[in-house]
Amino acid sequence: MEVTLLVEATENAFRILGDARKHAEGIIDSALELTSEETRHHEAKRIQEIFTGAQKRKTAFQNFIGTAVILYAFWVLLSGQFDAFHLTLGAICCIVVAYLYHDLLFANTRVGDMRVVAWRFITYIPWLMVQILMSNLHVASLVLRRKMPINPQVLTFKTKLETDISCVALANSITLTPGTITMDIRDGVFYVHALSKKVADELQTGAMEDRVAHIFMEADHLYVQDVLDAANIYAALRT
């Protein structure tokens, strides 16, 4: 009799504990949702500010000056002669070309902080190099075998990238990573030719897309980052 009472009491206690835990988890969930929503809103507003400021600041004249400076650096690299005559000739050429083509080099740049983008892009290059090396070893191992185990297929996925330049970076990265080439981009849908099922599944997890979005400071990467942070906190709380 006492034993059954004891068992009942312990079961009750466990149930109450479980309810309390569920309740606590629900509170934590809603709190996380709220904070992530708020930070996302805040970040979006800040980035919007940066964008509008950049749009205002980037007038045609600034484009002209930037183009001329970059082209002059390129001219000095090409020329390799540092006497006054050739430097003046280069300056005249660069000013003329920058006047004619000032709308090409900096068209629709909507990213705000160019330094951050440049730094992130430079840190992206070594990873890409490793990927290219792996893809070449993949092709080599494929080609040097007598019977080639390939099963080509076309896969499509919808991208969330918005600017042209990040689409180009993603497409060229896909072309250079193992087993995939970009065949077409139509209205934000990528058509990718993959050599095997494994590579296709790897691509569809979207890790590379997040990486590229992180580089070019697209708005969506904040959401992804929030989810990752929340997952970490959640795992820490669970254990």
Shortest Å, Cβ 18 to another protein: 45
The residue (of 28 and 132) whose beta carbon lies closer to another protein is 132
DSSP assignment letter at 83: S
Shortest Å, Cβ 67 to another protein: 6
Determine, following the binding rule CB under 8 A, whether residue 98 of this chain makes contact with another protein.
yes
Q: Which amino acid is at 100?
A: L
Angle, vertex CA 161, rays to CA 114 and CA 137, nearest 5: 90
Question: How far lies 223's CA from each of 32, 148, 230, in Å?
Answer: 13, 41, 11
Please report the sign of the dihedral spanned by the C-alpha atoms of residue 136, residue 141, residue 143, residue 144. positive
> Cβ–Cβ contacts within 10 Å for residue 199, how many?
19
Please choose, out of 24-32, 83-91, 109-117, 202-210, the segment that lies near another protein by the rule CB under 8 A: 83-91
Cα separation, 232 vs 80, whole angstroms: 54
Which pair of tokens denotes residue 84? 């006054």
Determine, following the binding rule CB under 8 A, whether residue 94 of this chain makes contact with another protein.
yes
Shortest Å, Cβ 59 to another protein: 18
Is 183 within 8 Å of 191 (Cβ atoms)?
Answer: yes
Please choose, out of 24-32, 35-43, 75-83, 230-238, the segment that lies near another protein by the rule CB under 8 A: 75-83
Determine, following the binding rule CB under 8 A, whether residue 237 of this chain makes contact with another protein.
no
DSSP assignment letter at 25: H
Determine, following the binding rule CB under 8 A, whether residue 179 of this chain makes contact with another protein.
yes
Among 182, 210, 214, 220, binds another protein (CB under 8 A): 182
Please choose, out of 41-49, 179-187, 211-219, 225-233, the segment that lies near another protein by the rule CB under 8 A: 179-187
Question: How far lies 213's CA from each of 11, 18, 34, 93, 171, in Å?
Answer: 50, 40, 24, 37, 12
Shortest Å, Cβ 183 to another protein: 4
Cα separation, 217 vs 57, whole angstroms: 19
Looking only at residues 100 through 139 of this chain, which bind another protein when binding is defined by CB under 8 A? Answer: 100-101, 104-105, 107, 132-133, 135-136, 139
Please choose, out of 10-18, 22-30, 112-120, 187-195, the segment that lies near another protein by the rule CB under 8 A: 187-195
Determine, following the binding rule CB under 8 A, whether residue 36 of this chain makes contact with another protein.
no
The helix, strand and coil proportions of the chain, stated in percent and rounded to the nearest 5, come to 70, 10, 20
Among 50, 91, 117, 183, binds another protein (CB under 8 A): 183
Which pair of tokens denotes residue 78? 């090409």
54 alpha carbon, distance to own chain's centre: 21
Determine, following the binding rule CB under 8 A, whether residue 212 of this chain makes contact with another protein.
no
Looking only at residues 39 through 68 of this chain, which bind another protein when binding is defined by CB under 8 A? Answer: 67
Site string for another protein, 153-172 (x = CB under 8 A): xx---------xx-xx--xx
